[in-house]
Structure 1
Amino acid sequence: MTEPIKVAVIGCGAIAVRRHIPEYADHPNVKLVAFADPRLERAEEQAARFGARAFSDYKTMLAEIEVDAVSVCTPNHLHADAAIAAANAGAHVLVEKPMATNEQEALAMIKAAQDNGVLLMVGHNQRLMPPHVKAKEVLESGRLGRVLSFRTSFGHPGPEGWSLDGRDSWFFRKDEAVMGAMGDLGVHKSDLIRWLLNDEVADVAAFVGTLHKENTAVDDNATCILRMKSGAIGTLVASWTYYRGEDNSTILWCENGVLKIGTDPDRQVILELRDGTWENIEAGAISTNEKQLPSFVIEEFVDCIVNHKQPTISGEEGLRSLKVILAAFESQETGKVVAVES
């Protein structure tokens, strides 16, 4: 039997407590050995559960504990520093999205992983959700022909219902979050549409703003028009004001029909062909804030470590998806269509 992978978690907020930690705990090849959080009691609570050590400072943790892998679950502005420190300590890194707050940070993270011979993976879980996996299989089969246009949307009532700190969460503090709904949800969809279409975003025109959340400078809504390199055009929507409930749906209008994903809770993938026929494709479900299902991110990360293979959701992929969001902010600021650097 091989030795378990020793994992540390930096940041013990909602995404760690609800996704990373339980999925590591359920994995037979993992041993949780350390937790770090500026609010030491949060790290101590998790450490007590797993016979691990607790730290208020991740740099001290990395200096004192030998770990094989680290999950970075901090506020956005700390992603780069924590990921680079972990890589420099020789640990493989799984970082939450958005991987960084700007391109320079992302490039520094990628370089640190390369220089230290460790893996860098970004937690873009939408690629791994069973309905999205099934939809990509349908697209790659060629049945629908070329994707001509699309709409992809991700919205929920806001992080106050998700974060352990409610309305006092770092999500609403511009200096820590840097970006709001676009960094929380929009980057998931830029990653998903790039992956589903096996295509890159060429141009972005966007309206990004704060429409309803009070006392915050971060965006709570965004609507973007994307033109892909293939010529396909579509919209990407991110919102923290879907107060009636979460929407994580995508519709692809293709040459030979329509592919609907997540538009019906009982029929996750629907195929409607131009000849009038249709079919429901069994595909599992998409995890939501209200209904936590496996994200498959931890499973993928550990598999890459065990089998010495590069993650498909690599730092380079995370950067490509981040660039789309950064272009949207630039479009909002300039009032212009912004080309996305490839």
Structure 2
Amino acid sequence: MKKVRVGIIGCGSITGKRHFPEYKANEHVEITALCDLVEERAKVYADEVGANVYSSFEDLLEDPSVDAVSVNLPNALHAPVTIKALQAGKHVLCEKPMATSVQEAEDMIQAADEAGKTLMIGHNQRFVASHEKGREYIQEGRLGRVYSFRTAFGHGGPEGWSVDGRDSWFFDKEKAFLGAMGDLGVHKSDLVRYLFDQDVVEVGGFVDTLAKEETKVDDNAVCIIKLKDGTMGTLTASWSHTKFGDNSTIIYGEKGVLRLEDDGDYSFIFYPLEGEPEKLNLGKIQTNEEGGQSKTGVIDEFIESILENRAPAVTGLEGKKALEIVLAALESSETKKILTLS
């Protein structure tokens, strides 16, 4: 059985909760190297699987036993480290948001093309069962024409789950660039494009720091977005939902209403204009809370795309388009203008 030999760069919470356990569970993967500036963090995982340990990502990229890497670093490092990894001949799974500018994203895509290697961005909401079924219902015309939607992602903030707590890089403007919009909003901007299978053409945003005033990154954002076919909706991202988290999407169509991840018992509910509601429990959405974590599907898709020599579900271009939406929201908030996306 052919195996993909994987190195993980950055051993914070996202590695511990998702990348490491999911790589370890994949029968086509051998974890051969881990890297973190705090070497002990890498060693904890490496000892489990007999992998090499590095404190320098450049040294890991020189390791001939590594075919592919996960880049699980602060946002500002995503582009430079990903580009160097691709140039070193490694396939790359980069955490979201893929970059801090459109130019960086384009440079990453170009580097992947020139190297002939896979570049995938870690947008996991596409792989949630309720979202997959919601997309099917929309494409099958079960909702008829869709008029509007609202999608939200909110929790209490990274200090509740990050390995560094309140000292996390998430609150450092230089390292993170974006706050709640980069952490949560970009998940939903990708989800909107996935669900409706079309691009966003206009964005208006209100992005601010309201709950964590001592920080310099945004912690609350409300955006209005318009799709190519004229459908309108709102996207909310927040680090101030300290007790009642939200990860819901509600879609209003001419034939009914679809509620995804909006009910404690049923992750998928369709209320048709006529007939009984369809209620399905399709499993829990991924969260960082104890007991709420389920398999994301991201790791398996990354590995399968490498083995099958095909484009992954979330390419660099898809990651770039999700990034463009949150960057436009930020610019809209600063300029007080509606932004048009090409």
Alignment TM class, shorter chain as reference: over 0.9
Deviation at 1:281, TM superposition (A): 2.8
User: Is 1:313 aligned with 2:282?
Assistant: no
Task: Give the secondary-structure state (helix, strand or coil) at the position aligned to 1:218.
Answer: coil
CA distance in 2 between counterparts of 1:326 and 1:171 reads 17
In the TM superposition, what are the counterparts of 1:290-329 in structure 2 within 5 Å?
290=289, 291-329=292-330
8 Å Cα contact 2:9-2:34 kept in structure 1: yes
Q: Spell out, residue by residue over 1:249-285, the C-alpha distance to the aligned partner (whole angstroms, 9 max, x if none).
A: 0000011110000110101111111125311134222
Shift of 1:197: 0.6
Matched with 1:68 is 67
Matches of 1:141 and 1:97, distance apart in 2: 30
Q: 1:56 and 1:222 mapped to 2: Cα distance?
A: 36
**Could you tell me which residue of structure 1 aligns to residue 45 of structure 2?**
46
Hey, what's the Cα distance between the residues in 1 that align with 2:64 and 2:218? 38
Which position in structure 1 is the counterpart of 2:26?
27
Q: Give the aligned partner of residue 57 of structure 2.
A: 58
Asked if the contact 1:153/1:250 (under 8 Å) is kept, the reply is yes
Partner of 1:257: 256
CA positional deviation for 1:49: 1.6
Aligned residues: 340
Q: Which one-letter code corresponds to 2:35 in the other structure?
A: A
Verify the 8 A CA contact 1:222 1:239 in the aligned structure 2: yes
| Deviation, structure 1 residue 234 | 0.7
User: Does the CA-based 8 Å contact 1:27-1:299 persist in structure 2?
Assistant: yes
User: Are 2:17 and 2:288, in contact at CA under 8 Å, matched by a contact in 1?
Assistant: no
Q: Tell me if structure 1 keeps the 8 A contact 2:261–2:268.
A: yes
The residue that corresponds to 2:336 in the other structure is 335
Query: Which amino acid in the other structure matches residue 239 of structure 1?
Result: S
Which position in structure 1 is the counterpart of 2:79? 80
**Paired residues of 2:221 and 2:237 also in contact (CA < 8 A):** yes
Give the letter aligned to residue 331 of structure 2. E
Superposed, 1:180-195 pairs within 5 Å as 180-195=179-194
CA distance in 1, matches of 2:265, 2:168: 33
Counterpart in the other structure of 1:216: 215
Query: Which SS does the other structure have where 2:198 is aligned?
Result: coil
Letter in 1 for 2:131: H
* Deviations 1:120-154, CA, capped at 9 Å, x for gaps: 00000000011111111111221111211000000
Kept after mapping to 1: 8 A contact 2:79/2:99:
yes
Map Cα deviations across residues 272-320 of structure 1 (whole Å, 9 max, x no partner).
1112531113422211121111001001111111111101200000000
Q: Which has the higher mean CA deviation after the structures are superposed, 41-50 or 263-272? A: 41-50
Question: In the alignment, what sits opposite 2:266?
Answer: 267
Aligned counterparts of 2:67 and 2:138: Cα–Cα separation in 1: 37
Percent identity among equivalent residues?
Answer: 50
Distance between the aligned counterparts of 2:240 and 2:275, measured in 1? 36
1:317 aligned partner, one-letter code: E
Cα distance in 1 between the residues matched to 2:79 and 2:89: 15
* Residue identity matched to 1:285: K
Give the match for residue 157 of structure 2.
Answer: 158
Aligned residue for 1:14?
A: 13
Residue 203 (1) aligns with residue 202 (2): yes
**What secondary structure, in the 3-state scheme, does the structure 1 residue paired with 2:70 have?**
strand
- In 1, distance between residues paired with 2:17 and 2:277? 37
Distance 2:307 2:326 in 1: 32
Alpha carbons 1:201, 1:227 under 8 Å: kept: yes
Checking the alignment, whether the CA contact within 8 Å between 2:9 and 2:72 is kept in structure 1 is yes
Distance in 2, Cα, partners of 1:64 & 1:30: 16
Amino acid at match of 2:113: Q
- Determine the C-alpha separation between the residues in 2 that align with 1:316 and 1:29: 26
For the residue of structure 2 that corresponds to 1:77, the secondary structure is helix
3-state DSSP of counterpart to 2:131: helix
Conserved? CA contact 1:206–1:329, under 8 Å: yes
**2:51, 2:281 → 1: CA distance?**
40
Residue aligned with 1:136, SS: helix
Is the 1:147–1:197 Cα contact (8 Å) retained in structure 2? Answer: no
Structure 1 residue 66: deviation in Å? 3.5
Whichever residue aligns with residue 268 of structure 1, its letter is: S
Q: Report the AA paired with residue 127 of structure 2.
A: L
TM (norm. structure 1) is 0.97
2:184 maps to a residue whose letter is L
* CA distance in 1 between partners of 2:294 and 2:69 (Å): 22
Tell me the SS of whatever aligns to 2:89: coil
